[in-house]
């Protein structure tokens, strides 16, 4: 467009004195330059319209995705570091305790040849929740905690087994863009 403006100015400057004989040709070239500028401006308007419409479409799509994820009814208070975890006095292991099980958990978390599930069981009060909390804290520090769900008898939501999978799915969708994409495809099919 700057080239067109420069060409117009050049032709307008030549319109005096000895350049009168080229006036008709200059006039035509100036008109062509103006038309070209008008075409460029129209192209810009069209592109801006499409960009604006595309932005609206993307915003609507993101809102729909958020709505689908919200529809999972995740239990935020079941996360390892939720406010409820402080209310129920959930905490990490005392330093230098439970070292062997924590080492085993950390090794399991990075070894892709190990089973996908690490089953920890024991009598009530033996420290399973404290170990799991410490492990979740370690994963969070390393940036590898995808999701967590801590059950507790003090919360109806956190003892409802029907809320575990939706909560884990919601947290994983926030953690992993590829999981979010796959989950949203499934949720959109259910519409």
Question: How does pLDDT run across 91-147, given as a tens digit for each residue?
Answer: 999 999 999 999 999 999 999 999 999 999 999 999 999 999 999 999 999 999 999
Pairwise CA distance, residues 48 & 53, whole Å: 8
Whether the per-residue pLDDT at 19 is higher than 60: the answer is no
Phi, then psi, of 121 in degrees rounded to 5: -135, 165
Domain that includes residue 54, residue range: 2-69
Return the DSSP state at 92. Answer: P
Give the residue from 40, 69, 98 where a domain finishes: 69
Same domain for 95 and 167: yes
Pairwise CA distance, residues 133 & 24, whole Å: 85
Does the global pTM surpass 0.75?
A: no
Give the residue from 16, 44, 69 where a domain finishes: 69
Provide the domain count of the chain: 2
Same domain for 121 and 84: yes
Same domain for 129 and 172: yes
Q: What is the mean pLDDT of residues 74-92?
A: 94
Question: How does pLDDT run across 139-182, given as a tens digit for each residue?
Answer: 999 999 999 999 999 999 999 999 999 999 999 999 999 999 99
Whether residue 98 contacts residue 133, with contact meaning beta carbons closer than 8 Å, is answered with no
Whether residue 151 contacts residue 90, with contact meaning beta carbons closer than 8 Å, is answered with no
Whether residue 15 contacts residue 23, with contact meaning beta carbons closer than 8 Å, is answered with yes
Whether residue 105 contacts residue 118, with contact meaning beta carbons closer than 8 Å, is answered with yes
Q: How confident is the prediction for the chain on average, in pLDDT?
A: 86
3-state SS, residue 71: coil
């Amino acid at each position: 467009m700057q080239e067109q403006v420069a060409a117009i100015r050049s032709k307008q400057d030549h319109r005096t004195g000895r350049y009168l004989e080229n006036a008709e040709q200059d006039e035509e070239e100036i008109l062509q330059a103006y038309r070209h500028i008008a075409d460029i401006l129209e192209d810009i308007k069209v592109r801006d319209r499409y960009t604006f419409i595309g932005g609206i479409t993307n915003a609507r799509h993101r809102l729909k995705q958020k709505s689908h994820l919200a529809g999972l009814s995740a239990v935020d208070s079941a996360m390892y570091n939720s406010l409820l975890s402080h209310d129920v006095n959930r905490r990490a292991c005392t330093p230098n305790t439970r070292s062997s099980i924590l080492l085993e958990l950390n090794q399991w978390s990075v070894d892709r040849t190990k089973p996908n599930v690490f089953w920890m069981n024991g009598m009530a009060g033996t420290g399973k929740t404290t170990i799991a909390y410490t492990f979740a804290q370690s994963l969070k520090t390393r940036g590898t905690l995808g999701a967590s769900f801590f059950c507790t008898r003090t919360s109806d939501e956190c003892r409802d087994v029907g809320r575990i999978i939706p909560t884990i799915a919601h947290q994983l969708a926030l953690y992993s863009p590829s999981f979010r994409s796959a989950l949203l495809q499934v949720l959109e099919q259910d519409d």
